[in-house]
Amino acid sequence: MLEKLGRNLPCWCGSGKKYKNCHMEFDERIAEFKNAGHIVPKHKMIKNPDQIARIRESCKVNVAVLDAVAAAIHEGMPTSEIDRIVYDTTTAMGAIPAPLHYQGFPYSVCTSVNEQVCHGFPSDKVILRSGDIVNVDCSSILNGYFSDSSRMFMIGDVSPEKRKLVQVTKECVELGLEQVKPWGFLGDMGQAVNDHARANGYSVVRDIGGHGVGIEFHEDPFVSYVTRRGEDMLLVPGMIFTIEPMVNMGSCLYDVNPDNGWEITTRDGKPSAQWEIMVLVTEDGHEVLSW
């Protein structure tokens, strides 16, 4: 009833239109899902066209930074060099590397090699060797708007087993992405990711996952890959989140480096891979904003 009273007031989305002519039907549709017992997004998770345009600009920086890394990465390179490239490329474009000083994170990028799952510290002591697989996770802030995506790189002569891990992890993201559509569920995506990893004998890390992103670095919802089709949060147009499964060749168990509290490695020492994309839920499907 409260909603009805406000039907002639300006819509919450900032369009300037009356609520009844803007998001009122949209909210009623969401309420139906809520009444049926589903988890539904809050208004603050739904970006308006102006915000989406600004986030899109940030994503262009993020993609350019990853492209710069892709052009430069090579055998014999210390991962500290990747950190320098990310810092220089990002700042040259008028942006800020989001990881730098984020909750005390000391670098501009995460570089996670082989059995490192995520949040690896770039270092002049970590030299990329032939046979290594490395995740480079870039996040950028442009004019206050956030972007976040990561890619895997294979250095020199990589074993077929590790190549397959990298390829299957990418396929997990692509299969998950296919499931992203308005009025579907986050669990549709999560199950697609998990099914493909498990079908290949791999495991997916459970309690580190993706997130809403754009206005802040890490927003709700938490994006899990151990969810089921038809479950988890309802997806609606305007939501932006990451899909970034960490897929392990062996067990999903991991350890946190006790010295720095950041770096995550697989407990069994087997390799782990991750790709991360940023996706927007559109009126008729989805749009990849950053990869």
Nearer to Co ion, 236 or 279 (CB): 279
Nearer to Co ion, 89 or 290 (CB): 290
Cα 102 to its chain centre, rounded Å, is 16
Q: Which of 85, 86, 96, 110 binds ligand MF3 (CB under 6 A)?
A: 110
| Cα separation, 179 vs 229, whole angstroms | 10
| Cα separation, 45 vs 25, whole angstroms | 18
Binding to ligand MF3, residues 138-157 (CB under 6 A):
139, 148
Residue 150 contacts residue 135 (beta carbons within 8 Å) = yes
- Asked if 140 interacts with Co ion (CB under 5 A), we say no
Minimum CB distance to ligand MF3, residue 145 (Å): 15
Query: Which secondary-structure segment (H or E) carries 174?
Result: helix 160-178
The residue type of 16 is G
Of the candidate spans 158-166, 174-182, 193-201, 239-247, the one that interacts with Co ion by CB under 5 A turns out to be: 239-247
Binding to Co ion, residues 146-205 (CB under 5 A):
148
| Cα separation, 183 vs 123, whole angstroms | 44
Nearer to ligand MF3, 232 or 276 (CB): 276
Q: Taking the CA of residue 278 as centre, how many other CA atoms within 13 Å lie in the half-sphere pointing to its CB?
A: 29
Binding to ligand MF3, residues 219-278 (CB under 6 A):
242, 244, 276
Q: Which of 116, 242, 248, 274 binds Co ion (CB under 5 A)?
A: 242
Q: Which of 19, 105, 202, 291 binds ligand MF3 (CB under 6 A)?
A: 105
CA-closest candidate to residue 26, choices 278, 238, 288, 286: 238
Applying CB under 6 A, the site for ligand MF3 has a residue count of 11
Binding to ligand MF3, residues 61-100 (CB under 6 A):
99
Of the candidate spans 44-52, 102-110, 123-131, 192-200, the one that interacts with ligand MF3 by CB under 6 A turns out to be: 102-110
Longest dimension (CA), the chain: 66
Of the candidate spans 69-77, 97-105, 142-150, 201-209, the one that interacts with Co ion by CB under 5 A turns out to be: 142-150
| Cα separation, 233 vs 248, whole angstroms | 25
Beta strands 116-118 and 286-290: pairing type?
unpaired
- Coil, strand or helix: which one is 97? strand
CA-closest candidate to residue 146, choices 56, 222, 83: 56
Nearer to ligand MF3, 235 or 246 (CB): 246
Q: Which of 54, 56, 119, 151 binds ligand MF3 (CB under 6 A)?
A: 119
Minimum CB distance to ligand MF3, residue 79 (Å): 14
- What is the gyration radius of the CA atoms in the chain, in angstroms? 20
- Coil, strand or helix: which one is 220? strand
Under the rule (CB under 6 A), what is the footprint of ligand MF3?
99, 102, 105, 110, 119, 137, 139, 148, 242, 244, 276
Under the rule (CB under 5 A), what is the footprint of Co ion?
148, 242
